[in-house]
Chains A and B, each alone.
Chain A
Amino acid sequence: MTIFYTFIFLPLISAMLVPLLYKYFNRIVHTGWFVLLVPSSIFVYLLQYIPGVAAGDTYKYTLSWIPSLDMNIVSYVDGLSLLFGLLISGVGTLVIIYSIFYMSKVREALHNFYIYLLMFMGAMLGLVFSDHLLVLYGFWELTSVSSFLLISYWYERKSSRQGALKALLITVLGGFGMLAGFIMLIMMADTYSIREMIANLDVIQSHALFIPAMLCILLGAFTKSAQFPFGIWLPDAMEAPTPVSSYLHSATMVKAGIYLVARMTPIFGGSSVWFWLVAGIGIITMLYGSLTALRQTDLKAMLAYSTISQLGLIMCLLGVGSLAVYFGPGESGTIFTVATFAALFHLFNHSTFKGSLFMVVGIIDHETGRRDIRYLGGLMQVMPVTFTIALIGGLSMAGLPPFNGFLSKEMFFAAVNDVSQTGIFGLSSIGILFPIIAWVASIFTFVYCMIFVFKTFGGQYRPEKLTRKVHEAPWGMLFSPALLALLVIFIFFFPNVLGKYILTPALTAILPMMPMSPYDLKISAWHGLNMELVMTIGVIVVGLLLFKTTKQWIQTMRSYPQKLTLNHWYNQGLSGTERLSVSLTNRYMTGSLRHYLIYIFSFFVIVLISSLLLLHGLQFDFASNAAISIFDAGLVLGMVIAAGTVLFAGNRIVAIVALGALGYMVSMFFVIFRAPDLALTQMVVETVTTVLFLLCFYHLPKLTKSIERIPFKLTNLVISIAMGLTVTLLALSANGHKLFEPISSFFENAFELAGAKNIVNAILVDFRGFDTMLEISVLVIAGLGVYVFIHQRSKRREQNEIE
Chain B
Amino acid sequence: METLIVILVGILISIGTYLILSKQLLRIVLGASIVGHAVNLLLITSGGLKTGSAPLLGEKVAGFTDSIPQALILTAIVINFAVTALVLVLCYRAYQSFGTDDMEQLRGNEQ
Contact = CB atoms under 8 A, between A and B. Distances in A.
Interface of A: 586, 589-594, 597-598, 601, 622, 624-628, 632-633, 636, 639-640, 643-644, 646-647, 652, 655-656, 659, 662-663, 666, 669-670, 672-678, 681-682, 685, 688-689, 692-693, 696-697, 699-700, 702-703, 707, 710-711, 713, 716-717, 719-721, 723-725, 727-728, 731-732, 734-735, 742-744, 747-748, 750-751, 756-760, 763-764, 768, 771-772, 775, 778-779, 781-783, 785-786, 789-790, 793
A676 B56 contact: yes
Contact of B42 (A731, A763, A793): A731
Contacts of A699: 92
A597 to B, nearest CB: 6
Nearest to B110: A591
Nearest to A725: B10
Contact of B64 (A624, A731, A759): A759
Contact of B82 (A643, A656, A778): A778
Question: Which of A624, A759, A763 gathers most chain B CB within 10 Å?
Answer: A759
Given A666-B37, A720-B17, A678 B74 contact: yes
B88 A692 contact: yes
Given A626-B51, A735-B2, A763-B68, A594 B21 contact: yes
Interface in B22-66: 22-24, 26-27, 29-30, 33-34, 37-38, 40-42, 44-58, 64-66
Given A598-B21, A720-B18, A760-B71, A625 B83 contact: no
B4 A659 contact: no
A744 B4 contact: no
Contacts of A710: 18-19, 22, 27
A719 B17 contact: yes
B77 A685 contact: yes
B4 A772 contact: no
Given A626-B1, A763-B68, A793-B96, A727 B13 contact: yes
Q: Which 10 A-B pairs have the closest CB atoms?
A: A724-B14, A728-B10, A782-B82, A591-B107, A759-B55, A626-B1, A724-B10, A720-B18, A763-B71, A720-B17
A673 B43 CA distance: 12
B66 A742 contact: yes
A141 B87 CA distance: 50
Contacts of B85: 689, 692, 782-783, 786
A670 to B, nearest CB: 7
A599 B80 CA distance: 24
A757 B2 contact: no
Given A643-B15, A674-B53, A707-B24, A636 B4 contact: yes
B47 to A, nearest CB: 7
21 contacts: A626-B50, A643-B34, A652-B26, A659-B34, A674-B54, A692-B88, A700-B101, A707-B24, A716-B21, A720-B14, A720-B15, A723-B14, A724-B10, A724-B17, A725-B14, A744-B66, A747-B68, A748-B64, A759-B57, A760-B67, A771-B75
B75 A772 contact: yes
Contacts of B27: 655, 707, 710
B18 A735 contact: no
Given A626-B50, A673-B49, A786-B86, 9 more contacts: A640-B11, A647-B18, A681-B74, A700-B101, A744-B64, A751-B57, A763-B67, A783-B82, A793-B93
Contacts of B68: 742-744, 747, 763
Given A675-B65, A727-B13, A716 B74 contact: no
B93 A594 contact: no
A256 to B, nearest CB: 44
Contacts of A681: 74, 77-78
Contacts of B52: 674
A731 B103 CA distance: 32
Contacts of A724: 10-14, 17
Interface string B73-108: 111011111111110111111011001010110111
A719 B21 CA distance: 9
A612 to B, nearest CB: 14
Contacts of A598: 21
Given A591-B108, A626-B2, A626-B49, A677 B34 contact: no
Contacts of B71: 760, 763-764, 768, 771
Given A591-B109, A676-B54, A685 B81 contact: yes
Contacts of B53: 674
Nearest to A707: B24
A593 B78 contact: no
Contacts of B30: 646, 655-656, 659
A597 B20 contact: yes
Nearest to B91: A696
- Mostly, the B contact residues are helix
A666 B41 contact: yes
Contacts of A756: 57
A785 B87 CA distance: 10
Contact of B92 (A589, A632, A669, A700): A700
A677 B4 contact: no
Contacts of A786: 85-86, 89
A694 to B, nearest CB: 10
A466 B110 CA distance: 53
Given A735-B46, A744-B47, A778-B78, A625 B33 contact: no
Contact of B33 (A689, A700, A758): A689
A593 B4 CA distance: 33
Nearest to B58: A757
Contact of B88 (A646, A696, A734, A775): A696
Contacts of B56: 676, 757-759
A735 B45 contact: yes
A542 B34 CA distance: 89
Nearest to A734: B46
Given A710-B27, A782-B86, A750 B57 contact: yes
A223 to B, nearest CB: 37
A672 B8 CA distance: 16
Contacts of A639: 8, 12
A702 B51 CA distance: 52
Contacts of A677: 70, 74
A670 B44 contact: yes
Contacts of A591: 107-111
A779 B78 CA distance: 8
Contacts of A760: 55, 67, 70-71, 74
A556 B108 CA distance: 55
Nearest to B90: A789
A682 B70 CA distance: 12
B14 A764 contact: no
Contacts of A707: 24, 26-27
Nearest to A764: B71
Contacts of A652: 26
Nearest to A670: B44
A598 B30 CA distance: 18
Given A598-B21, A742-B68, A790 B15 contact: no
A743 to B, nearest CB: 7
Contacts of A728: 6-7, 9-10, 13
A688 B77 CA distance: 12
